[in-house]
Structure 1
Amino acid sequence: MKNNTLHSYHLLSDALIESCNNNQISFKSNIDKELSIPDYFKMVRFEKKFDEGCRVIGDGFQMLCQTTGSINKSEPVGRCPDNNESYRIYGKEDNQRYYNYLVIEENDGYTLFGFTSCRRFAGFFEFSDGQVTAILDGENITLEPGENMLESVAVFEGETLAEVHEQFAAAIAINHPPRAHVSDAAPIGWCSWYAYYASVSADDISTNLDQMTSDLKDIEWVLLDDGYQAFMGDWLTPSERFTGGVKAVIEGIKARGKRPAIWMAPFIAEPGSALFREHPEWFVRSETGETLKAEDITYGGWRCLPWLMLDTSQKAVCDYLTQTVKTMRDEWGVELFKLDANYWGALKGKRANPQVTGVEAYRLGMEAIAKGAGDAWLLGCNAPMWPSLGMVDAMRVSDDVERVPHRFSQIARESFFRSWQHQRLWHIDPDCVTLTDIPGQETDDAAYRYHRDAVAAVGGLLLSGDPLAELDSFARASFTRLIQRSQLTSLPVQFTDLSLNYGKLVLESGDTLHAVITYLKESWEPVSVTLQSDIAADWFDYWSGEKLNLEPQNFWVINLSSENRSQLVISK
């Protein structure tokens, strides 16, 4: 059994002093003069050397990035690493970075290195000769004389993934208490984006509301996504497809007994927006003093380009965010805000207050939004992960869903790696469930069966992304069953190792949900897994209820292949 003790370490800067408490190292400045913190500030190196073949998982600064593989051969989980040609958060030739936390899998258990706070600076880990170093991106900020607190680092060990994740989450909660809705039941709803994308209209919302009866009556939330606004940045001004106003659509949702939610990208605007035309001084600037375009330093965005970023180091900007969200909450009746493109609120650039970092500016903006939102839910999307701690009730943890097998596989893996965060840091949002074709996005039945298995295994928020009137019998029955699963519990299965092939969840009834999953790389790799039960049990297919065994037994063997890519089983 591994001991839960802090690893031996070396402090790497004489400008710091540290203190240790409950596996956590806290840092503050050690001098009586100004301290400049560069964007690559090594704080501490841990003595233990890990075998370079150990499997790992580490987070990314932004939502779309996670890194797995081994110490000596890392691999991105998704399609948008922090150091790719689009995001450019650090150089492609630099050492591999693991932001926020790093989990290392050994034969006898797991070691987790993690930043337990993110108030002003982003932190990351790197390997050198099998040793771990904790590094801070100080954004070249100068600290004033006196004792200034920096971000804290912790180390946890355990025999299981669940142990180290539980310890880590508890430590984070001390620095960043979760928001109130984190303890509430996870939302069950419908989202307009993957049915209509930016072409959504008021009539589309009404059409889908008509479908929320009978077996779909338990869809509680209706999320109006991107497309309702005239311009990126002008969130209170409707597009030509909402001539009656967005407020009337929200009122129509409530009149049907549903809870209204709305999308916005609070930290960006396009040049044609009234917001930019009237307040060009509110935006982040480049070193030459011009308005900074996102594309000049990172991924430029997905439509209505170029994106310009609000400078939330300015009080007037924060007041504007508060008032905009307050109008939607108090006058329109919005009860959940999907806050997208949040990453762009944390970008580095020239702000009115040069002592405010990108991380700090983002958190100031989120505080302003929360002030306007009151008791409404806040859902983060395309967000900087750790800067969002304590700022959102729910968080997207995967890339966008797309009706193709490789994307279903990708977002399943992304969601499973972050599933430990559910109702500890925030509700996880594995993105919408899409179980039927739309023009331009068609796939086969095997892909949809895999997708519903992954959604049922991961739990979290449950939002349909299909045009509800076009659901076939398979899609309708599957989503109805997913609703029942979410009403029972939104907790995820817990995986036994970083392969993410086998996870299980003990239900309140005493039954156990077992999930066996494989992932598409160059092909669907075959997997054989033996499911375990503490008692001789009966085994049932999750979806059909068909009994699989003749006599009670303590195990059941699942063989996956390119035709049978996943399977859910109940033991009772």
Structure 2
Amino acid sequence: MPSKRIERRSFIKLLAAGVGASLMPIRSLADLSVASEAPGPVKFKLGRSEWILHNDGTFDLISGAIRLRNCRPTIDGQSIFVQNTFMGDSPKGKRIIYELAGNSFVMLDLKIFNGSVSIGIELSNMSRAPFYLAPLGEARVEGVDRFFKQGIGQGGPSGIYDIPTPTAEDWGNTAGEQAWSYDSYLTTGLLSPENETLAFAAYDHYDFTQKSTIYNRPHRKGLYDRYPDKEEIYFETGFVMENIPLKNEFIKLPDIYIVKGNTPFDTLQHIAWNISENMVARKDTKTSYHWNSWYEYQQHFSFDQLKEVLQGFDELKPKIPLQTIQIDDCYCVLGDWLETNERWPRTMEDAAREIFQRGYRAGIWVAPFVVDENSKLFKSHPNWIIRDLDGEPILQHNFRESNLYALDGSHPEVQKYIARVFRTFRKMGFTFYKTAYLEWGLKDSYNIRRYDRDKTSVQILVDVMKIIREEIGAGAYWMASNAPFAPLIGFVDGMRISANVDADWTPGGIGNMFQESYNCQYFNNVFWQNDPDTIFLRNVNNNMSDAENRSIALWDGILGGTVNTSDRFSTLTEAQLDLWRFLQPQDRPQSALIPLWSYDAVGKVAVRRYKSEKAWGILIVNDTDEAFDKTYRMEDLTGESKCWIFRWGPEESMSLGQMSDIQIKLDSHESILLYAAENNDAPASDLSISGVKLDKYLKKHNMLE
């Protein structure tokens, strides 16, 4: 915490200057407008759903206001061609058996449980799987005005979206269209106007990509097709199976579970917990608070600079309890992971030793599927590269004037090489691993040439993930980047959820970070620790304002995922170091709530509960390019009708009185952090945004001297 406090008068001047935000004068509480259409905290409840079968073999899913009509299985986007249909009861619900041409069969089990339903599917007497199979396909959607789509992995895009509304338009001499289709992975939600939510997910993702799609079938009428006609909305959910051969001409796929809840965030988090339990997610690892080299030094980082950085950490007083120092992409030609370049010693063991001798975890960046055309690996083992059907290597990326290719994860020798790389790094002393470009290991078997064409891309990726986890050990911290989400549950401790950020506020960088961290918070510390990427505090090599730096730092800190930076601490001001200390996370993973998720489209709000203090931290960020002026109700944010409110930060706190509503004015990219207490007790001077008592922590770990 700060060695000296700013005076109260100076702090008030900072408020007036708009550092982070400005507060509108509080009039009579009765004069303030209602903040949002949110009804206040709603106790989460699971709802009931039921299956209804029709004589023609179709079926409905009825779930309150949300209804999926005339559902049927589809293969590769088309309804199955049925010769005979058999319907009846099953031990847990209803069963439909479809006899297809060629004496093959599709069997559906429509099951009912307490709090959910599920749909299971089996294929028999088929030599090969379809490419895409949807047990619930061509479902006509009723009672839905929004949907939640989850991106396949890092960068999304994920979020709650309105069902597009067709508009009248004169297309003139062109054939215009207003058709749309959106894919979602891992979890999907359909939302009613009353916020009833129907969430879909498989609980096992180790064999196939589970995908859902919501789409429309628009029609036009009138001269020049200018008027929208009847428009139907459809939904399907199933598995990408990649035409793999079926052993014994039979396969039973994982069930797809369907959960109905009365609030979107809680419903998706409920189904995420079920996935987490089934796949034994690593959700109890100590929250990562670390430094990485990339955003300060990029590929030019050297062994000498590492020692300078470590020396800077040694000189900090009081100490900062970082856990890990992670070396990023800088030490070799990509692919030749065990052969260092001229900036590093002969092996990376010396670097690991420099780090762990100072009491930190030693971290290393590896991209196991990436190989540079200039590497020895690429030249020595051309048969290890993924190729197209004509036998040509498939170029994945051009980076730093080099062509990059992907290793074939199904090749036994590639698997042995990857095992040797991670085994060697473990022997060197590395206990923190950041693996990048894991998506390159997820290549559909359908249209590429590789060693094993009898497995899906998911199965091959999972095989490699098992190898890596075994080699690094159960106690190592594993951070994944540029990765698909679903197949990595149970393997990794942390996951990058947003696109790369830079020291500049752009829609594709910082904008994407806010979008994805907000919409992926429901599985933070459920599947793993979400990593929103690095925090910038420094003044040099930074195109962002102090207010923007502060908004990003506080947002990352309050969410409860990983907290990391690349800044050289020796260049930071005392105030910047105080802000970094203020972000120190709890050892035990704890997540912020997103109370206005699905209600507010403008701005981001996150709330952190401090049980022992009987208080909450409330962060409001304007991540848009326009100023806003909004009123928030305490009941919506904390569940309490009134709270004692303090303007809060690492500098000091200032009482604003007891309130039921608060009006906030924020300029673009500004933020405000509030402390809301049940009693008129100000936050402790050493309380971090995560709830850590910093002075107590430092004293306990002998870090105050």
Residue 282 of structure 1: CA displacement? 1.6
Per the alignment, residue 245 of structure 1 pairs with 347
Residue 495 of structure 1: CA displacement? 3.1
Partners in 2 of 1:473 and 1:118 — Cα distance?
A: 47
Q: Please list, as runs of the form range in 1=range in 2, the aligned pairs for 1:279-318 lying within 5 A after superposition.
A: 279-294=381-396, 300=397, 302-303=399-400, 305-318=402-415
SS at match of 2:617: strand
Residue identity opposite 1:346 in structure 2: L
Per the alignment, residue 245 of structure 2 pairs with 142
SS at match of 1:451: helix
Q: RMSD over aligned Cα, in angstroms?
A: 2.6
Partners in 2 of 1:301 and 1:538 — Cα distance?
A: 55
Which residue, 356, 380, 385 being the options, matches 2:455? 356
1:430–1:458 Cα contact (<8 Å) kept: no
Per the alignment, residue 537 of structure 2 pairs with 435
Per the alignment, residue 49 of structure 1 pairs with 141
2:298 corresponds to 1:197 = yes
Q: 1:277 and 1:206, CA in 2 relative to 1: closer, same or farther beyond 3 A?
A: same
Residue identity opposite 1:539 in structure 2: I
1:63–1:397 Cα contact (<8 Å) kept: yes
Partners in 1 of 2:510 and 2:590 — Cα distance?
A: 20
SS at match of 1:97: strand
2:77 corresponds to 1:16 = no
2:163 corresponds to 1:72 = yes
Per the alignment, residue 309 of structure 2 pairs with 208
Uncovered stretches (5+) of structure 1, i.e. residues with no partner: 75-92, 295-299
Per the alignment, residue 418 of structure 2 pairs with 321
Partners in 1 of 2:555 and 2:633 — Cα distance?
A: 19
> For residues 313-335 of structure 1, what are the alpha-carbon distances to aligned partners after superposition, in whole Å with 9 as ceiling and x for unaligned?
122221221121011002x1000
Which residue, 464, 477, 481 being the options, matches 1:365? 464
2:364–2:432 Cα contact (<8 Å) kept: yes
> Identity across aligned pairs (percent)?
19
Greater relative contact order (Cα < 8 A, sep 6+): 2
2:266 corresponds to 1:163 = yes
Q: 1:235 and 1:280, CA in 2 relative to 1: closer, same or farther beyond 3 A?
A: same
Per the alignment, residue 125 of structure 2 pairs with 32
Which residue, 446, 449, 452 being the options, matches 2:547? 446
Per the alignment, residue 24 of structure 2 pairs with none
SS at match of 2:418: helix
Residue identity opposite 1:374 in structure 2: G
Residue identity opposite 1:247 in structure 2: E
Residue 536 of structure 1: CA displacement? 4.2
Deviates further, 261-270 or 154-163: 154-163
Residue 12 of structure 1: CA displacement? 1.0
1:161–1:496 Cα contact (<8 Å) kept: no
Residue identity opposite 2:73 in structure 1: L
Deviates further, 144-153 or 320-329: 144-153
2:233 corresponds to 1:130 = yes
Per the alignment, residue 21 of structure 2 pairs with none
Residue identity opposite 2:564 in structure 1: L
Q: 1:172 and 1:570, CA in 2 relative to 1: closer, same or farther beyond 3 A?
A: same
Residue identity opposite 1:49 in structure 2: V
Residue identity opposite 1:169 in structure 2: A
Residue 405 of structure 1: CA displacement? 2.7
Residue 115 of structure 1: CA displacement? 3.1
1:18–1:25 Cα contact (<8 Å) kept: no
Which residue, 298, 315, 338 being the options, matches 2:434? 338
2:207–2:456 Cα contact (<8 Å) kept: yes
Which residue, 484, 499, 503 being the options, matches 1:384? 484
Per the alignment, residue 85 of structure 1 pairs with none
Residue 535 of structure 1: CA displacement? 6.0
2:205 corresponds to 1:114 = no
SS at match of 1:287: coil
> For residues 306-351 of structure 1, what are the alpha-carbon distances to aligned partners after superposition, in whole Å with 9 as ceiling and x for unaligned?
2211112122221221121011002x10001100011111123222
Residue identity opposite 1:12 in structure 2: P
Per the alignment, residue 82 of structure 1 pairs with none
Partners in 1 of 2:364 and 2:471 — Cα distance?
A: 14
Partners in 2 of 1:490 and 1:222 — Cα distance?
A: 23
2:287–2:588 Cα contact (<8 Å) kept: no
Partners in 1 of 2:627 and 2:369 — Cα distance?
A: 40
Aligned length: 539
Partners in 2 of 1:12 and 1:272 — Cα distance?
A: 48
1:233–1:275 Cα contact (<8 Å) kept: yes
Partners in 1 of 2:324 and 2:401 — Cα distance?
A: 27
Residue identity opposite 1:383 in structure 2: A
Deviates further, 279-288 or 110-119: 110-119
Residue identity opposite 2:596 in structure 1: T
Q: TM-score, normalised by structure 1?
A: 0.87
Q: TM-score, normalised by structure 2?
A: 0.72
Per the alignment, residue 275 of structure 2 pairs with 172
Per the alignment, residue 98 of structure 1 pairs with 184
Q: 1:304 and 1:424, CA in 2 relative to 1: closer, same or farther beyond 3 A?
A: farther
1:504–1:514 Cα contact (<8 Å) kept: yes
Residue identity opposite 1:58 in structure 2: K
SS at match of 1:241: coil
1:516–1:558 Cα contact (<8 Å) kept: no
